[in-house]
Structure 1
Amino acid sequence: MSANTPLFAEADTLYGRMKATCQQDWHDYTYHPFVQGLADGTLPETCFRHYLQQDYLFLIHFARAYSLAVYKADNLEEMRFASKSVDGILGEMTLHLDYCREWGLSEQDVISLPEARSNMAYTRYVLERGMAGDILDLYTALSPCAVGYAEIGFRLKNDPNTLREGNPYWKWIETYGGEEFQEGAKAQIEKLDQLATTRYNAGRMDSLAQTFREATRLEIGFWQMGLDCSF
């Protein structure tokens, strides 16, 4: 691997090994028609607005999930890492509302929207895995989003076939393909490996891989919800 290769491309991390167990699902997630519509600018804007509103509601529960990680942590270092993630998400939510305004959506428009069933299914699954399992289970359930968006953003930003000029979604691509989000994904992968040093054994792989796969499938459902403008 070259020094410029993103960590999510490495196969020997726990993240890489879990991803390898669900390659078709991962492809269906990262190359979903919604994603491809972002890349070439053909995604209907009504679909994107629906996604933006649901994504804000999604972030509320992801902040709760990382708050749960503070509780599940065994030491101050783990607590600080999770707390920093909570702060990051809460800050991202403010930026998300600013971005929504650029799309003609007020804060009231966003918070008054009913939560879609696919949104509820995904976020409650992540919280359930965190409550039923340990912090490694929780971070595993979080990683298809926390790292997967970085993978998608990196690919779209660096793909010469991605439409840049005149693409209404280029700012979204730049955000998730940008250095800040890439660094956050790298930290998430490293945290999984760090947690695995004391919490992982070969007998856990099937369970962790199942959690990772189910979260990936729920990500597919989230994209489809955006594409269908469904509740």
Structure 2
Amino acid sequence: MAMPSDFDSSEFVDTEVHTTVRPHVRPAIMSDSTASNRPPSREELDHKVSDAQQQLAELKRKQEELERERATLEESRRRRVELETGHEEMLHQLTRGLVLLEESELKSRREAEQMHKTLTDLRGALDKVRAIQQDGWSAESYNVELTRALTAIENARMEWNAARLKWPMLEGVVDAAAPLAPAGPAKIQGHFLGAQSFTELCRLGFALTWPVAVAVLLGSILLLLFRR
């Protein structure tokens, strides 16, 4: 029995199948660069516009909150400055005012005490002057009563002068009681000269002295002529 020959691989190959098999083709896949280069769609644009509007609304809300917070802080700062300024101002004014009023009160109290003493002295002097009754003097006691009356009047005058020095308001009583004296030539001349200005006074002096100056000049000329 004869043995088969060496193995031939071509005996098991189906040539028809081998010739009909086509190579596998990979489907085309769109790259990321191609997708990014395409224009955005309407839906994408609407979404972006909506996002931008929401962000603007959020920023506006935050801006309004910051403005309200800033206004609150500024008002607090203004009130704090007003508090500090008013505190210092009122401390100074009230302290100074109390010191001035206390000094004025003390001065007024002293003046009131002095005025009360002056009133008492003037009332006593007035009673003594009113007590002088010349009709009741007798011939025997005339000198004694006269001396006593003159002493009372002199003491009253001293009290009155002392009161005038203390209280300037009493000067009006003397001015009102004093008779009007006629104006003398000196007063009239002083009033006339005081009413003139410096230029008018110079003119007046020149008008009064130029005749004397002319006479002196003529006398000097005549004296020189006679000497020649």
Tell me the TM-score normalised to structure 1 length. 0.22
**Greater relative contact order, per chain length (Cα 8 Å cut-off, separation 6+):** 1
Give 1 or 2 for the bigger CA radius of gyration: 2
